[in-house]
Structure 1
Amino acid sequence: MISTVEDLAAEALFVSDVQPSDRPSRKRLEDAVTAMLLRHGSDGCAAVVAEEFGDHPEVAVARMCWVRGELKNVVVSPRRPMSAPHAS
């Protein structure tokens, strides 16, 4: 069972096609998480993660470590608020 929003995001990013070599931006990570949740749902993402850990545990562990590191950077550095237009 998913216990946090971060866990859900991690599973969604894990099943995405985003790779470490892409050096993804924050927006790319957010878009990938959203796309995977819309495509697979939370249960579907969890199922793919479980399958990968069962079939290729050594690769899955490395990918999940990368995913967690990327998401930690996203959570630690919040978005900058959009500035209001200046009145003339």
Structure 2
Amino acid sequence: MTIPTDLLTAARAKALFTSDLPAYSHPTRADVATAIRHAVRTYGGTRGCTVEVGGEYGEHPETAIPRMRWALSVVHAVYTQRGATGDAITPP
């Protein structure tokens, strides 16, 4: 199933991709928000995160693709489940 991705969701996923959170982890909403903020600051904004993502796809496509799938699923889970608690996220 393909989920349409808007620009904000894509930017969040790129930032989460570049974060230190391990792929396939089940972070809490707070963990995701903190990781995204830290990545955006570390790489000088969402454009810097995009550059990092591109580099990983060029150097390590075999790990970049699954990591981006994970990042997108986590971002979709966190930002589409409004009003939920800070429980850990289990991506679809």
1:29 and 2:41 matched? no
Alignment-derived partner of residue 90 in structure 2? none
Alignment-derived partner of residue 56 in structure 1? 60
Over the matched positions of the two proteins, sequence identity in percent amounts to 29
* Rounded Cα–Cα distance in structure 2 between residues aligned with 1:39 and 1:10: 15
Unaligned segments of structure 1, at least 5 residues? 81-88
Q: Which of 47, 66, 72 is 2:51 aligned to?
A: 47
Counterpart contact for 2:24–2:70, Cα < 8 Å: no
Quote how far apart the aligned CAs of 1:58 are: 1.2
Q: Normalization by structure 1: what TM-score? A: 0.81
1:1-88 map, 5 Å: 4-20=7-23, 22-40=25-43, 41-80=45-84
Q: Normalization by structure 2: what TM-score? A: 0.77
CA deviation string 1:15-68 (max 9, x = no partner): 001013542101100110011112211121011000000001110000000001
- The aligned amino acid for 1:69 is S
- Root mean square deviation of aligned Cα: 1.7
Moved over 4 A (4+): none
SS of residue matched to 2:73: helix
- The aligned amino acid for 1:77 is Q
Number of aligned residue pairs: 79
The structure in which a higher percent of residues are helix is 1
Unaligned segments of structure 2, at least 5 residues? 1-5, 85-92
